[in-house]
Amino acid sequence: MGESRLSTEPAQGPSPEQLDRYRRCAILHVDMDMFYVGVELLRTPQHRGKPVIVAGLGPRSVVLSASYEARKFGVNSAMPLVQARAACPHAVILEPHREDYTQYSGLVMAMFREITDRVEQLSVDEAFLDVSGAIRRLGPPAVIARRIRAEIEHRTGLTASVGVAENKTVAKIASAHCKPDGLLIVEPQHTLAFLAQLSLTALWGVGKRTAAVLQGAGLSTVGDIAATPVTRLRSLVGDAAGHHLHQLANGHDPRAVTPVRAEKSLGAERTFDRDISDTAQLKRVLLGLSHDTAARLRRHGLRAERVGLKLRYADFSTVSRSRTLSHPITSAHDLYAESTALLDHVGPRKQSVRLLGVRAEKLAASGDALQLSLDGREEEWGAAEQAMDRVHHRFGPGVLRPAKLLGPAVPNQAAKDILDDT
pLDDT of 297-336, one tens digit each? 887 788 899 999 999 998 888 999 999 988 888 889 999 9
**How far apart, in whole angstroms, are the C-alpha atoms of residue 386 and residue 187?**
49
Whole-structure pTM value = 0.69
Looking at domain 197-249, its CATH architecture is: Orthogonal Bundle (1.10)
Residue ranges of the binding site: 31, 125
**Which band of pLDDT confidence, cut at 50, 70 and 90, is reported for residue 418?**
very low
Q: What is the pLDDT of residue 375?
A: 42
Residue ranges of the binding site for Mg(2+): 31, 125
Who wins on pLDDT, 133 or 377? Answer: 133
Write down the catalytic residue from 126, 187, 269, 385: 126
- Known catalytic residue: 126? yes
Q: What is the pLDDT of residue 372?
A: 40
CATH topology of domain 265-421: Dna Ligase; domain 1 (3.30.1490)
Cβ–Cβ < 8 Å for 266, 302: yes
**How far apart, in whole angstroms, are the C-alpha atoms of residue 418 and residue 366?**
24
pLDDT, one tens digit per residue, over 265-299 is 888 998 888 899 999 999 999 999 999 898 888 87
Q: What is the pLDDT of residue 90?
A: 97
Scored b (16 or more CB within 10 A) or e, 221-254 reads bbbbbbebeeeebbebbeeebbebbbbbbbbebe
CATH topology of domain 1-188: Alpha-Beta Plaits (3.30.70)
In the chain, where the domains are located: 1-188, 197-249, 265-421
**Which band of pLDDT confidence, cut at 50, 70 and 90, is reported for residue 385?**
low
pLDDT, one tens digit per residue, over 190-237 is 999 999 999 999 998 888 889 999 999 999 999 999 999 999 999 999
Mean pLDDT of 9-28: 74
